Amino acid sequence: MEIYNDLLQRAKKVRERAYAPYSHFPVGAALLTAEGEIFTGCNVENASFGLTICAERAAVFAALAAGKKQFKGIALVADTVEPPTPCGACRQVLHEFAPDMWIICANLKGQKRLLHLSQILPAAFTAKKDKDGPF
């Protein structure tokens, strides 16, 4: 459980660096690699809303830039009524690298929820072809 607390603290801290002038909804994430390294990310908004990046993807992209591609879990923190879950785009990006990863969702009130990615993204998209398929 110590690693969960470390991830949550890092996610909470990096949340303070979020750039969210439009939504006023800062989010922080801390990603744990298979080797035990931690990469953080925060959401970064843009006036062209489609260019906004979520905290979870920012953490994944930082890890990828450092040459890491295997992940165990991620923690995310936001100021919400209930612990937040990743958006659909983030779920799909996380699935690309770690379909069996766990996710710790927490709000600033200290409420937490532990999920597995497969719970919140059933039947995820994959580019792999089924060689036994009908076509």
What span, in angstroms and rounded, lies between the C-alpha atoms of 37 and 62? Answer: 12
Task: Kindly list the catalytic residues.
Answer: 56
Structure token digits, residue 55: 């905290």
DSSP string, 40-104: EEE-B--SSGGG-B-HHHHHHHHHHHTT---EEEEEEEES-SS-----HHHHHHHHHH-TT-EEE
Q: Rg for the chain (alpha carbons), in Å?
A: 15
